[in-house]
Structure 1
Amino acid sequence: MKAQSLSQRLNWTIVGMTLATLVFSLTFVMAAYSLLFQFAPKLLSAEDAILPGPVEWGIYSVCIVLGGIAASVVATRVARRMVEPLEALAEAAREIAGGDLSARAVLSAPAPTEASQMIADFNAMADRLEKAVDDIVTWNSLIAHELRTPVTILKGRLQGLAEGVFQPEPTLLRSLHHQADALARLVEDLRVVSLLDSGRLQLRSVEIDLAAEIEGLARLVERDLAKAGFGLRMTLASGRCVADPVRLRQAVLALVDNAVKYAAPCVLEIVTRVSEAEVEISVIDRGPGMPDSLARRAFEPFRRGEDVDVKSGSGLGLAVVRGIAEAHGGQVSYAWRDGLSVFAITMPRRPST
């Protein structure tokens, strides 16, 4: 049954109470007069009397009292039905204000449309608030965990230099620079993921030649890939699309970096495909692949395999890729095919208007 709006329910209640009171009054008066005419006609006022007699005044008084009682009972029940959602809402708000973020407003009976919608909106807001607080607690813990290792290493090395335990040799300085660089990348990844989750990442989209962008990026990473024992093969389909080139390069670099960290040395392949409606960028490596339990959640922040060394990365790279793809109106996916791990970014050639 479709719930009535508050104004409709009020209107129908007032009309119903009025009609019911009139019907009750007429019925009571007619019944009382019928009894008087039949059993005590002398108690009725004379035909030429202007005002009713005492007995008739009594009938009218009893009719008014009974009608008032009936109307009060109905009005009280209707008011309770209308006020109950507000009381439930106020009680839940007090519990949330007191720190119980799991509190929700619950209706024990159907309510008017406006009240039901208000309760639903309040509970949805409470759900988002509880999730936001849980996310803050989780993120604070994860961020502290991720920052602990590079900060501890930097602190130890710098303290050793200050006390003369270590000599400022090029190897040590390069190690410190590497840790500082890893720390800077972690902070940047955290910033990007936070902006993406809050929907505040601003893209500076322009029309680009996708193949030219990817080819230029690949040439920059060839030397580092060679040092890590990886080759590079590119299969680039030419086509133009509208995207933020800086963010797009960041996403592809994150996929390449992910392959270098977790895949066995192989020939890394970057493939682009262009259709009428969308473009796809794939980074393909030779495994070892991800188990199904991890693959389903690999693009969430701080997700790693159980056998992965925590020092190998922050666990944010794939989350950054997903966020950048979604910011462009696209998506990122992972597939294991014929011994190959395929990470693909798919997005529209033109942003939707």
Structure 2
Amino acid sequence: MKAQSLSQRLNLAIVGITLATLILSLVFVFAAYGLLFQFAPKLISAENALFPAPVEWAIYSVCVVLGSIAASVVATRVARRMVEPLETLAEAARAIADGNLSARATLVAPAPTEASQMIADFNAMADRLEKAVDDIVTWNSLIAHELRTPVTILKGRLQGIAEGVFQPDPALLQSLHQQADGLARLVEDLRVVSLLDSGRLQLRPVEIDLASEIEGLARLIERDLDKAGFGLRMTLTSGRCVADPVRLRQAVLALVDNTLKYAEPCVLEIAARVSDAEVVISVIDQGPGMPEGFTKRAFEPFRRAEDVDGKSGSGLGLAVVRGIAEAHGGEVTYERRDGLSAFTIVMPRMNRSGLGAE
């Protein structure tokens, strides 16, 4: 049966109290008259009397008082049932205001619909608040940890150059440039993950040729792949779709970087196809892949393979990929295929605004 709303229960309580007072008073009156007729009929007023006898006035008064007391008892119980949810909510709110973010409102008995929903919403809000505070502490610690290494290296090298310990030759300058580039990419990943987490990442979807975008990106990464001992094979199906080309390239580049960090040198394959309904982009390498216990957490921020196999990384790349895919209304998955590791982005061919591709 559907629970009654708070206003309905209040109205019913008021009506019930009124009726209970009247009914109980009448019951007491009938009971008193019955006793008088049985044991003291002379005390009852005559049939043609204009006013009740004094004893009858006393009976009426006592019966009204007894009926009111009985109705008040019932009203108190009903009011307590309706007020208890608000009291427990107020107590939890005061505890949170005092700094106890783990405090929650609890129901010990069934409550009106509005009160139950309000407590559920309050607890959900408290959960999000507690998680947000915990995330802030965790993120501050992790960000400081990730920034410490590149900043320390840059500071040490620059101080060495200033003091004449190091000569500013091309090799050293190239090393400094790489550290600065890595630092810039880390900051950008942090910014993107923060925007994604708050739901504020803005996409600029336009109609693009997916194969052309991937080919353009491949030309930019071929040199880095070659230096790391990787080959490149592309399996591209020409087709037009609607997406943010900058964010899409960022996601694919993050998957390629992930391969460079964790995979053994091999022929890296980038596959892309556009069907009537969706866009599929895969980055495939020859492993060794991720351990099974790590795959479910791999796309969370600051989750990195060094937790499992000792390799390095910021732990943000896959989180960025997941966020960009979800911002396009899609998803990213990981699986092992015949000994190969495959990351696959699947998203609608048409973006959320309804802009389509011909």
When normalised by structure 2's length, the TM-score is 0.95
**Partners in 1 of 2:14 and 2:94 — Cα distance?**
33
Deviation of 1:173 after TM superposition, in Å, equals: 1.5
Q: Which 10-residue stretch deviates more, 169-178 or 118-127?
A: 169-178
Whether contact under 8 Å (1:303, 1:316) holds in the other structure is yes
Counterparts of 1:298-337 in structure 2 under 5 Å? 298-305=298-305, 306-310=308-312, 313-337=313-337
CA–CA distance in structure 2, aligned partners of residues 286 and 236 of structure 1? 19
Q: Hey, what does 1:24 align to over in structure 2?
A: 24
1:244-276: CA deviation from partner (whole Å, max 9, x where unpaired): 001001101111111112111111111112222
Once structures 1 and 2 are overlaid, which stretch shifts more, 121-130 or 28-37?
28-37
Matches within 5 A, 1:106-255: 106-255=106-255
Quick check: 295-304 or 107-116, which moved more?
A: 295-304
User: What's the counterpart of residue 36 of structure 2?
Assistant: 36
CA offset digits 1:74-96 (Å, max 9, x no partner): 11111111111111011001111
Question: Letter of the aligned partner of 2:250 in structure 1?
Answer: Q
1:301–1:319 CA contact under 8 A, matched in 2: yes
The amino acid that maps onto 1:143 is: I
The aligned counterpart of 1:98 is: 98
Q: How many residues align?
A: 351
SS where residue 153 of structure 1 aligns?
helix
- Matched to 2:318, the amino acid is L
Aligned to 1:9: 9
Separation of aligned partners in 2, 1:38 and 1:231: 112
Distance 2:154 2:342 in 1: 36
Q: Which amino acid aligns with 2:310?
A: V
Q: Quick one: distance in 2 between partners of 1:180 and 1:186? A: 10
Deviations 1:63-111 (A, max 9, x none): 1110111121111111111111111011001111111111000111111
Partner Cα distance (1:314, 1:113) in 2: 47
Letter in structure 2 aligned against 1:308: G
Say which SS state the counterpart of residue 271 (structure 1) adopts.
strand
| Bigger mean CA deviation after superposition, 22-31 or 65-74 | 22-31
Runs of 4+ in 1 over 6 A off after TM superposition: none
The answer (yes or no) to whether the contact 2:284–2:340 under 8 Å persists in 1 is yes
Distance in 2 of aligned mates of 1:67 and 1:38: 23
Q: Give the deviation of 1:124 after TM superposition.
A: 0.4
Give me the whole-angstrom Cα distance separating, in 2, the residues matched to 1:244 and 1:213: 11
Over the residues paired in the alignment, what is the CA RMSD in angstroms? 1.3
Q: Alpha-carbon deviations, 1:262-316, whole Å to 9, x = none?
A: 1111111111122221110001111111100111111111112222333xx3111
Equivalent position amino acid for 1:309 in 2? K
Q: Cα distance, 1:13 vs. partner?
A: 1.7
CA contact (8 A) 2:205 2:242 kept: yes
The equivalent of 2:296 in structure 1 is 296
Secondary structure at 1:342 match in 2: strand
- C-alpha separation in 1, matches of 2:199 and 2:279: 23
Give the TM-score normalised by structure 1: 0.96
Amino acid at match of 2:262: Y
Aligned to 1:278: 278
1:4 match: secondary structure: coil
The answer as to whether partners of 1:270 and 1:281 remain within 8 angstroms in 2 is yes
Work out the CA distance in 1 between the residues paired with 2:310 and 2:151.
Answer: 21
1:61 aligned residue? 61
Distance 1:41 1:303 in 2: 92
How much identity, in percent, do the aligned residues show? 82
Alpha-carbon distance in structure 2 between the residues aligned to 1:23 and 1:74: 13
How far is the alpha carbon of 1:327 from its aligned partner? Answer: 0.3
Contact 1:3 1:110 in 2 (8 A): no
Per mean C-alpha deviation after superposition, the further-off stretch among 8-17 and 70-79 is: 8-17
Unmatched 5+ stretches in structure 1: none
Question: 1:112 and 1:315 mapped to 2: Cα distance?
Answer: 46
**8 Å contact from structure 1 (residues 282, 344) kept in 2:** yes
**Residues 9, 112 of structure 1: 8 Å contact kept:** yes
- Give the C-alpha shift of residue 152 in structure 1: 1.0
